[in-house]
């Protein structure tokens, strides 16, 4: 069986094992798609485009406000969230800098859930989820709307951090909401500095899972997706983190993997019981755990360490590597090659990890052997958006909006830059051969080939 065909079959089997409805219909139900894999190998994908020149653009729809949340997709609809401050140009400072300042936009905000037609980009409806002054401030590179929504085809859950957890039906009717307290995040060494919240909710088997690692009373919790009732809550001794939990399976049972500094680890999906942990690493954990090829891959960075771990799903207890050596449940790890902002991706047996300065590292996912280390772009732009992959390419977007489509393989072939024409901090979604980028001011659909019934009448204005 050809390797590409094997990969598609493996993904289909994995989706079926997690019982995610509609996976075969090219849904992208949460941050980075089905279980955050970031992979869509069922259609041909675009390899080059230019949004400023209108090349390769299916449609381009303006989105008011400010938000780094990613678009999600169910059937023929796209859902995205945003926060409107009333300011024409709310502060957003991108680029390579080390300041940890908070933005000053603490006036009234309106948080919206917006629904778009997937084929045309037309806005079908918008729903105000919350209105008021933000409870906590945000980092100058962040927004008040960082968390990506999640859906199971029946419910849409949006997480607005300290403003609460909100659930809607698929046509925008409010179903329930939860106040989870003052979720205040900032750097470990400065507990008075506010950077905002970014962990996204996930939905699995009728439950909403949230990870709330903040300065005070960190926890991971499960809620009933239909009613919002709390099923369990497990306290965590943890510093603020910004990653999203992931589902993995062991022995037929669902488990939850989370990133952390004091507690990278796994929890039982049914009860919330702690199963395993790794102590130490980067002290500002941002990336989401990746489940692929029978392992759990976790990375973080900042401070003294920047580890990258490959963990067996059957892990139990404290599996922190002793004396820096792998063994037991940790199949392999590297101590100084982890990523600060981007979630890595595993595609066709290789793990791709890109640091915020655009240096891409490619590993054999099974052994940890580094195959190459190369720079994307000219080293002048930051990289925050996490990569996605499909059709033999892995896509990396710089903060300046240049997308590099890197050919999958054990050797690096320098890619050209495909401009989006705007700042891009969000991770894209993929569905049926189209990549949907959320930039500072738009959602943009980039497609390899335009359907016959739309050729010659492209509208990139969104109106």
User: Mean pLDDT in the chain?
Assistant: 90
Helix, strand, or coil (residue 453)? helix
> Picking from 83-87, 346-350, 420-424, 448-452, which range would have the lowest pLDDT averaged per residue?
448-452
CA atoms within 13 A on the CB side of 211: 33
Tell whether 190 is covered by a domain: yes
157-201: pLDDT as tens digits: 999 999 999 999 999 999 999 999 999 888 877 777 899 999 999
Tell whether 313 is covered by a domain: yes
Tell whether 9 is covered by a domain: yes
Q: CA quadruple 313, 215, 156, 65: dihedral positive or negative?
A: negative
CATH of the domain at 143: 2.130.10.10
Q: Which of 448, 425, 449 is nearest to 437 (CA)?
A: 425
Tell whether 461 is covered by a domain: no
Q: Above 90 in pLDDT, residue 322?
A: no
Domain interval for residue 185: 3-454
- Residue located via tokens 């990569």: 387
Which one has a higher pLDDT value, 4 or 215? 215
Number of domains in the chain: 1
- Report d(CA 398, CA 357) in Å as an integer: 9
Tell whether 462 is covered by a domain: no
Q: Which two tokens stand for residue 412?
A: 């690096």
Q: Above 80 in pLDDT, residue 24?
A: no
Q: What is the pLDDT of residue 17?
A: 43
Residue 12's pLDDT band, with cuts at 50, 70 and 90, is very low
Q: Report the relative pairing of strands 345-347 and 155-159 from DSSP bridges.
A: unpaired
Tell whether 463 is covered by a domain: no
Q: Above 50 in pLDDT, residue 155?
A: yes
pTM here?
Answer: 0.91
Q: Rounded mean pLDDT of 216-222?
A: 95
Q: Which two tokens stand for residue 183?
A: 């979720």
Cβ(113)–Cβ(127) below 8 Å = yes
Tell whether 459 is covered by a domain: no
Q: Above 70 in pLDDT, residue 16?
A: no
Which one has a higher pLDDT value, 275 or 380? 275
Q: Rounded mean pLDDT of 338-363?
A: 96
> Picking from 217-226, 321-330, 417-426, which range would have the lowest pLDDT averaged per residue?
321-330
Tell whether 25 is covered by a domain: yes
Q: Rounded mean pLDDT of 264-276?
A: 98
DSSP state of 16: H
Which one has a higher pLDDT value, 378 or 134? 134
With b meaning 16 or more CB within 10 Å and e meaning fewer, what string describes 262-300?
bbbbbbbbeebebbbbbebbbbbbbbbbbbbbebbbbbb
Residue 326's pLDDT band, with cuts at 50, 70 and 90, is low
Residue 25's pLDDT band, with cuts at 50, 70 and 90, is low
Residue 396's pLDDT band, with cuts at 50, 70 and 90, is very high
Residue 455's pLDDT band, with cuts at 50, 70 and 90, is very low
Residue 210's pLDDT band, with cuts at 50, 70 and 90, is very high
Residue 18's pLDDT band, with cuts at 50, 70 and 90, is very low
Residue 61's pLDDT band, with cuts at 50, 70 and 90, is very high
DSSP state of 75: T
Q: Above 60 in pLDDT, residue 451?
A: no
Q: What is the pLDDT of residue 19?
A: 41
């Amino acid at each position: 069986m050809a390797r590409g065909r094997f990969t598609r079959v493996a993904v289909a089997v994995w989706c079926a094992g997690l019982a995610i409805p509609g996976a075969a219909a090219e849904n992208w139900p949460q941050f980075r798609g089905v279980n955050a894999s970031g992979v869509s190998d069922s259609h041909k994908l675009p390899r080059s485009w230019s949004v400023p020149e209108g090349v390769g653009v299916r449609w381009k729809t303006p989105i008011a406000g400010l938000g780094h949340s990613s678009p999600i997709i169910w059937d023929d609809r796209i859902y995205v969230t945003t926060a409107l401050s009333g300011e024409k140009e709310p502060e957003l400072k991108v680029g390579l800098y080390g300041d940890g300042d908070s933005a000053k936009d603490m006036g009234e905000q309106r948080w919206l859930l917006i629904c778009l037609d997937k084929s045309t980009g037309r806005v079908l409806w918008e729903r105000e989820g919350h209105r008021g002054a933000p409870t906590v401030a945000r980092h100058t590179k962040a927004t008040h709307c960082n968390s990506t929504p999640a859906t199971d085809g029946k419910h849409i859950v949006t997480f607005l951090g300290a403003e609460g957890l909100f659930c809607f039906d698929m046509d925008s009717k409010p179903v329930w909401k939860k106040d989870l307290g003052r979720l205040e995040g900032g750097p470990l060494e400065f507990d008075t500095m506010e950077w905002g919240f970014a962990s996204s909710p996930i939905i699995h088997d009728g439950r909403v899972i949230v990870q709330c690692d903040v300065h005070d009373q960190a926890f991971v919790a499960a809620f009933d997706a239909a009613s919002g009732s709390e099923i369990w809550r497990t306290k965590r001794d943890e510093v603020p983190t910004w990653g999203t939990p992931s589902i993995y399976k062991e022995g037929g049972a669902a488990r939850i993997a989370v990133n952390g500094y004091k507690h990278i680890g796994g929890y039982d999906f049914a009860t919330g019981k702690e199963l395993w942990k790794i102590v130490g690493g980067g002290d500002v954990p941002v990336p989401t755990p990746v489940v692929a090829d029978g392992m759990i891959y976790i990375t973080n960075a900042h401070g003294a360490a920047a580890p990258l771990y490959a963990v067996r799903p059957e892990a139990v207890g404290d599996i922190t590597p002793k004396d820096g050596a792998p063994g037991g449940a940790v199949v392999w790890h590297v101590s100084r090659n982890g990523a600060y902002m981007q979630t890595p991706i595993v595609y066709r047996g290789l793990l791709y990890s890109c640091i915020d300065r655009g240096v891409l590292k490619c590993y054999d996912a099974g052994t940890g052997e580094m195959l190459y280390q190369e720079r994307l772009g000219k080293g002048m732009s930051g990289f925050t958006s996490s990569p996605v992959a499909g059709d033999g390419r892995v896509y990396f977007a710089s903060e300046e909006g240049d997308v590099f489509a890197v050919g999958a393989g054990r050797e690096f072939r320098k890619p050209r830059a495909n401009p989006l024409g705007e700042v891009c901090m969000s991770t894209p979604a993929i569905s049926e051969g189209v990549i949907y980028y959320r930039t500072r001011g738009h959602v943009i659909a980039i497609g390899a080939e335009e359907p016959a019934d739309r050729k010659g009448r492209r509208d990139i204005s969104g109106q």
